[in-house]
Structure 1
Amino acid sequence: MIGRKAFLLGSIFVFAAANAFGESTSKELNDHPNILMLAVDDLNSWVGAMDGHPSTKTPNIDRLASEAITFTNAHAPAPLCGPSRASIMTGLLPSTTGIYGHVKDNDIRSANRKAAQSTFLSEYFAQHGYYTAAVGKIFHQSIADGSFEVFGGRQAQFGPYSPEPIKWDRKGTSTDWGAYPEKDQMMPDYDSAKWLVEQLQRKHDKPFFIAGGFLRPHVPWTVPQKWFDMHPIDDIELPPYLPSDLDDVPEIAKRISTYDMMPTTDWAIESGEWKNIVQAYLASISFVDHYIGQVLDALESSEYAGNTIVVLWGDHGYDVGEKNRFAKMALWETSTKTTLIIKSPNSSSKLTSNRPVSLVDLYPTLVEMAGLPENPFNEGHDITPLIINPNAEWEHVALTTFGPNNHAVKNDRYRYIRYEDGSEELYDHSTDPNEWNNLASNPFYFDLKNELKAKLPKENAEWSPVSQYKSNEYFKALTEKATASE
């Protein structure tokens, strides 16, 4: 039975479509809507629709946002690809599955007992009559076996790679930046976009759930020269950075966010590379925006334009010099905040909501929007009330987890971080959007901290042996301990 919110959303969709296309579309509108899901690797909030960076050029994502709702306070379940994507696709929190580090796609359901009970988002739609297809990186590697009916493949790793390092040669990371290769046709995202376009040009005899996973702006920040030319180096504005920023954070915050193989902002300033890195990240975003635009064009020119939900998300945030780092993997705003845009069928209004939402909310939300029965195992919150009314009353927070008992809670105004040793951080975004002033020790905020502390997960599953993260000594020890106890 279709829920009340789905009925309200359906009424909006039908009203809009009837006005746009007349009674001839009534048969189409009786069908469940299609889903087009676009996942963009390592995309933070630096898109035009998010006002994330003044030098950004993302005309196609912005075009999507002009007819959709953009969630300006959206956060990842984890600040790392593997656990974040596992959470999105299972609808379960990392603190429930014990997937705190990277995980092989086919190992997700062997993480623990609750993970074993999960039904992947795409599987749920297939069980309810949808054709499911994907290309590129949807889970951490590509897709779990059998999770989609059709898979268009994914090129291994994140190349193509320059024969010789352009700027950075530290082992253990594919981080590098500069103009490479010569042509777009050599980039995996070029092929993924082409595959998605072909899917949208096909005749489908049942509703579809089609997912495309784009790799850029994941490192290496290398794309052809023309994308760099869109962002002249003299026009590049640098993100805010305070050298003493981390003086007032707990030691454990520094321990879990250390990633020695990546450059620091201090190094980038001393070497004169910071603007070059920002330029490369922006160029990578503009590149992927172009190919997302090709997919959106194909949808708009197809017979499915009037009955397709489009959702675009990045899998977590990314520091591009803030906090003395170029990385994800931390519980601060810049590492957790990402892009989330949802377009309802036939929507033509540009909406924004600053209510705190999480990517784990996508599963129940898409199920509700499609008029499917609720999956009772989902731990996310259905955000369709915010799609109907972006400023609706909202009691929920966005929760991000990075290792057992390390959590960040974000509401409309504050970020509260609590670590496994009991240490804390608290930031007021109304006065401190860069999170430079840790208020956790101020007694004035005692009641607020308790209120936010109550939103922390009640369950903190043990680190699953199938989950791996060894790029940091703190997490390497947890990984090895879990593996040894297997």
Structure 2
Amino acid sequence: MTTPERPNILLISMDDAFAFWRFRNAFGVELQTPNLDRICARATAFHAAYCQTPVCGPSRSSFMSGLAPHQTGIFDNYSEIFELLRPEQMWSYRLKEAGYFCSTGGKIHHGYKPRPPEVHNALYSHEAQECHFGPSRTAPHKDFGGAGRGLGTTDEANDSQYYDHTSADYAIDFLRRYDGDAPFYREAGFHNPHPPFRTPARFKEMYDENDFIMPEEWKQKRESDAFAEASFPPNFPLKNETAWRKTIRNYFSCYSHVDWHIGRVWDALQASPHAKNTLVIITADHGYHMGDKARFRKYTLWEEAAGVPLIIYDPRQDKGQVVKDPVALLDIGQTVMDYAELPPLQDSPGRSLRPQVDGAVQDDRSVPTFFFGSAGIRHGQFRYIYYQDGSEKLYDLESDPWQLRDVSPNHPMLSEMRTRLKQTASQYGMFICDDEACEPHPTEYVSVQEHGKQPVSPPTSGQIAFEPPDPDMPDYPGWRRYFLRPRTDMSIDLPKAWRELYYPGDIGDKAEHLEVRCNDLGCHIDFMGGHQRIALRIFGGRGNDRIETAHDPITAYLQSGDNTVEAGFADAIIVGGSGYDRIECQRAENRVHGGTGDAHIICGTGHDIITTGDGRNIVHGNTGTSDVTIDGGTNVIEVGPGDMVLHFQRTGLPQVVKGYKGGELDISDWNTLGPYDLSSDGRDAILTCGTERVRFVATDVAVLRQALADIE
């Protein structure tokens, strides 16, 4: 820097952006990134930078905290970073505490909306600014085809409505206006080149789809990779080259689109008073496959998904340079601390990259990328992958850049690479437990290889395994997470040492049914995912259990604790227990019985069949259709905007209905009690019959009389 002051820091993040220099001319068409190119001409470009996990949320949680995924405990997009980590654990918090004015706009942490106020206010020095997605679907556009349809808006008046345009505008406005005495830290987060590959049409028209050429190597028969096929399966058949050309054109156009906006921010910085004292870091959360290995996606341990662009601009530099030594995405945190003259991050396996920006050559380093219990490393010219089933792959990137030929059998580097991976994984918080003696450090996550030995005592962080935990394992203090990858149908009795059970999100395995019996200490069963994977049958314990699902059908039987069940988008059967239960339905068909305890039941947007239990219950209607049977207990039924049918059984207890404006009533179970009676009590209507009494709050008697006449 040209001044002795601490530098300003500008962090720019793209979404799903591959290491563009590697693919620039790989497909017969040059990727056009003129703005990134001119920045690189004055900066340090790290051509072997790797994310620590090829998944959006976990990767961002990692590089924004400086912690590896097995230190954060975040492995999929269904774990919210600030439910597991505190804002104070982000390195940007340390900047704010050290006197930096901290500012943000766009996607930096996972998600496209600002963080909740308690998080935002802890990390940033101004009110939140929200970027909205646009233009609307009705905006004039052209359909260019390919994955995501490749829509291109044709009216330039709509250009300013794109998420990335808004994010760039916010950053530009900040750079022009900021005149505070404190150094600033500014974040600018962009959406592209993330699907659905929507841009102004002129960016699509930069590329002729017919000019793209598929590499001949892709068409050769590739060796089987069974674990990879099951864990992150192919999603893009290469037989349709026309679809491939359209899709890669869409991705390239999005890259050029975000490049244009990065150029706008760069120009604003260079025109501002901050140009000579602002460090600029440009990166992405992970890479992306372009159709190789029949994949157009992230979620793998190969170079295409693990590699990321990483550019560091130090205004003291005279000219650009390229660093080919492997570096880690989470090195960003330590690098920022170094430039900001702050102490290094504790417990972070990252390293400051400032020495390399200054021209130093690093030592012989291996850099890892993890996917749950599997890991890969880049070391020298090799990529080595050790999958959780014990299979391994070794690729020579100089002779096989697309990693199509496994050279591990009898290769002289195999043993060394295997040792390096295990040592590196341990340094980043994951201990690989295989056929050897398994004695992990207590704070490490343990990856138990298929058919491998489980640790004698559970680690304090968590474990990732194919087999269920040992039901006879003694109790250990603390709250531990068990990530299960069932390869076959199984039944699990959770020992007291394990309090959280997770099914890794969106992993494809062969099991169809899973039965879980919770322990009595209170368990968290989390089966969030983006598609249906397995049918669940869960028996709660006597503690306070929390059960969450998304697309997996579930049958749950609750016991005496105070329990929470969040059913997802697949069918559910839930039987309440004898404690206090909160049961929330979403889409699909759900059957809920309130049990013997108290229950708060929230209907969903599908079709719900609700039977109240013997306690004090509240039932909330929703926009779906609901059949509610009042079969026992005292109940408050809140009718929602959807259709609700009310079936009144004989309970001998007073009931309350709110929001009733007409609809089907069933009192056939009262037939032996004699005639019913209707009366008014203020604004309420009262329905009585023998020992039964129902108060319809704020309902006109005439509305109730008409509903009863319809069933006579």
Range class of TM-score, shorter chain: 0.7 to 0.9
1:66 aligned to 2:38?
no
State whether residues 37 and 310 of structure 1, in contact with CA within 8 Å, keep that contact through their aligned partners in structure 2: yes
Tell me the CA shift for residue 51 of structure 1.
6.4
Tell me the CA shift for residue 267 of structure 1.
5.0
Tell me the CA shift for residue 162 of structure 1.
6.8
Tell me the CA shift for residue 286 of structure 1.
0.8
1:150 aligned to 2:150?
no
- CA gap of 1:126–1:241, structure 2 versus 1, over 3 A, is farther
Name the amino acid aligned to 1:231. Answer: Y
For residue 660 of structure 2, what is the aligned residue in structure 1? none
Q: TM-score, normalised by structure 1?
A: 0.83
Tell me the CA shift for residue 343 of structure 1.
0.4
1:433 aligned to 2:401?
yes
State whether residues 206 and 253 of structure 2, in contact with CA within 8 Å, keep that contact through their aligned partners in structure 1: yes
- CA gap of 1:475–1:378, structure 2 versus 1, over 3 A, is farther
- CA gap of 1:126–1:231, structure 2 versus 1, over 3 A, is same
For residue 45 of structure 1, what is the aligned residue in structure 2? 19
Instruction: Quote the Cα distance in structure 1 between the aligned partners of 2:127 and 2:230.
Output: 39
Instruction: Quote the Cα distance in structure 2 between the aligned partners of 1:383 and 1:118.
Output: 23
Instruction: Quote the Cα distance in structure 2 between the aligned partners of 1:442 and 1:48.
Output: 29
Name the amino acid aligned to 1:266. Answer: L
State whether residues 136 and 152 of structure 1, in contact with CA within 8 Å, keep that contact through their aligned partners in structure 2: no
SS state at 1:312 partner: strand
For residue 279 of structure 1, what is the aligned residue in structure 2? 249
Tell me the CA shift for residue 358 of structure 1.
1.1
State whether residues 216 and 285 of structure 1, in contact with CA within 8 Å, keep that contact through their aligned partners in structure 2: yes
Question: After alignment, is 340-349 or 467-476 more displaced?
Answer: 467-476
Instruction: Quote the Cα distance in structure 2 between the aligned partners of 1:205 and 1:462.
Output: 48
For residue 150 of structure 2, what is the aligned residue in structure 1? 177
1:149-187: per-residue Cα shift (whole Å, max 9, x none)? 235534467875578995789xxxx94423236432221
Instruction: Quote the Cα distance in structure 1 between the aligned partners of 2:15 and 2:367.
Output: 20
1:205-258: per-residue Cα shift (whole Å, max 9, x none)? 210010010001000112111111211223334456524564232x11111212
For residue 175 of structure 2, what is the aligned residue in structure 1? 200
For residue 90 of structure 1, what is the aligned residue in structure 2? 65
1:248 aligned to 2:221?
no
- Paired residues for 1:168-317 under 5 Å: 175-180=148-153, 182-183=155-156, 184-202=159-177, 203-238=179-214, 242-244=218-220, 246-249=222-225, 251-258=226-233, 262=235, 264-269=236-241, 272-317=242-287
For residue 140 of structure 1, what is the aligned residue in structure 2? 110
- CA gap of 1:230–1:439, structure 2 versus 1, over 3 A, is same
Instruction: Quote the Cα distance in structure 1 between the aligned partners of 2:57 and 2:238.
Output: 28
Instruction: Quote the Cα distance in structure 1 between the aligned partners of 2:410 and 2:364.
Output: 25
For residue 506 of structure 2, what is the aligned residue in structure 1? 471
Name the amino acid aligned to 1:187. Answer: Y
State whether residues 135 and 195 of structure 1, in contact with CA within 8 Å, keep that contact through their aligned partners in structure 2: yes
- CA gap of 1:74–1:223, structure 2 versus 1, over 3 A, is same
Instruction: Quote the Cα distance in structure 2 between the aligned partners of 1:67 and 1:73.
Output: 18
Given candidates 357, 360, 376, the residue that maps to 1:387 is 357
Tell me the CA shift for residue 290 of structure 1.
0.8
Instruction: Quote the Cα distance in structure 2 between the aligned partners of 1:191 and 1:274.
Output: 30
Question: After alignment, is 296-305 or 367-376 more displaced?
Answer: 367-376
SS state at 1:410 partner: strand
1:401 aligned to 2:374?
no
SS state at 2:282 partner: strand
- CA gap of 1:474–1:175, structure 2 versus 1, over 3 A, is farther
- CA gap of 1:165–1:223, structure 2 versus 1, over 3 A, is closer
- Paired residues for 1:5-84 under 5 Å: 13=1, 17=2, 29-47=3-21, 54-84=29-59
Structure 1: unaligned runs, 5 residues or longer: 1-12, 18-28
Instruction: Quote the Cα distance in structure 2 between the aligned partners of 1:295 and 1:476.
Output: 49
Tell me the CA shift for residue 401 of structure 1.
0.7
Instruction: Quote the Cα distance in structure 1 between the aligned partners of 2:76 and 2:249.
Output: 29
Question: After alignment, is 459-468 or 421-430 more displaced?
Answer: 459-468
1:369-402: per-residue Cα shift (whole Å, max 9, x none)? 2212222232212222211225x13232221111
For residue 8 of structure 1, what is the aligned residue in structure 2? none
Name the amino acid aligned to 2:31. Answer: T
Instruction: Quote the Cα distance in structure 1 between the aligned partners of 2:171 and 2:330.
Output: 24
SS state at 2:266 partner: helix
Q: Which has the higher contact order (CA 8 A, sep 6+)?
A: 1
State whether residues 14 and 193 of structure 2, in contact with CA within 8 Å, keep that contact through their aligned partners in structure 1: yes
Tell me the CA shift for residue 110 of structure 1.
3.4
Structure 2: unaligned runs, 5 residues or longer: 432-443, 446-461, 465-480, 482-499, 515-523, 528-537, 539-544, 547-712
- CA gap of 1:291–1:430, structure 2 versus 1, over 3 A, is same
Instruction: Quote the Cα distance in structure 2 between the aligned partners of 1:134 and 1:168.
Output: 34
Instruction: Quote the Cα distance in structure 1 between the aligned partners of 2:94 and 2:501.
Output: 24
Instruction: Quote the Cα distance in structure 2 between the aligned partners of 1:124 and 1:415.
Output: 35
For residue 328 of structure 2, what is the aligned residue in structure 1? 358
SS state at 1:63 partner: helix
Equivalenced residue count is 442
Instruction: Quote the Cα distance in structure 1 between the aligned partners of 2:40 and 2:501.
Output: 37
State whether residues 15 and 192 of structure 2, in contact with CA within 8 Å, keep that contact through their aligned partners in structure 1: yes
Instruction: Quote the Cα distance in structure 1 between the aligned partners of 2:127 and 2:59.
Output: 21
Instruction: Quote the Cα distance in structure 2 between the aligned partners of 1:413 and 1:187.
Output: 40
- CA gap of 1:469–1:187, structure 2 versus 1, over 3 A, is farther
- CA gap of 1:280–1:31, structure 2 versus 1, over 3 A, is same
State whether residues 103 and 467 of structure 1, in contact with CA within 8 Å, keep that contact through their aligned partners in structure 2: no
State whether residues 103 and 466 of structure 1, in contact with CA within 8 Å, keep that contact through their aligned partners in structure 2: no
- CA gap of 1:116–1:423, structure 2 versus 1, over 3 A, is farther
Question: After alignment, is 136-145 or 67-76 more displaced?
Answer: 136-145
Name the amino acid aligned to 1:67. Answer: R
State whether residues 79 and 401 of structure 1, in contact with CA within 8 Å, keep that contact through their aligned partners in structure 2: yes
Instruction: Quote the Cα distance in structure 2 between the aligned partners of 1:371 and 1:50.
Output: 36
- CA gap of 1:318–1:68, structure 2 versus 1, over 3 A, is same
Tell me the CA shift for residue 325 of structure 1.
1.1
State whether residues 66 and 348 of structure 1, in contact with CA within 8 Å, keep that contact through their aligned partners in structure 2: no
State whether residues 469 and 476 of structure 1, in contact with CA within 8 Å, keep that contact through their aligned partners in structure 2: no
SS state at 2:416 partner: helix
Q: TM-score, normalised by structure 2?
A: 0.58
Given candidates 92, 96, 119, the residue that maps to 1:126 is 96
Tell me the CA shift for residue 71 of structure 1.
0.4
Tell me the CA shift for residue 118 of structure 1.
5.9
- CA gap of 1:100–1:222, structure 2 versus 1, over 3 A, is same
Name the amino acid aligned to 2:71. Answer: T
For residue 9 of structure 1, what is the aligned residue in structure 2? none
Tell me the CA shift for residue 148 of structure 1.
2.2
- CA gap of 1:280–1:446, structure 2 versus 1, over 3 A, is closer
State whether residues 416 and 427 of structure 1, in contact with CA within 8 Å, keep that contact through their aligned partners in structure 2: yes
Question: After alignment, is 462-471 or 49-58 more displaced?
Answer: 462-471
State whether residues 228 and 279 of structure 1, in contact with CA within 8 Å, keep that contact through their aligned partners in structure 2: yes
Instruction: Quote the Cα distance in structure 2 between the aligned partners of 1:396 and 1:118.
Output: 29
SS state at 2:198 partner: strand
SS state at 2:413 partner: helix
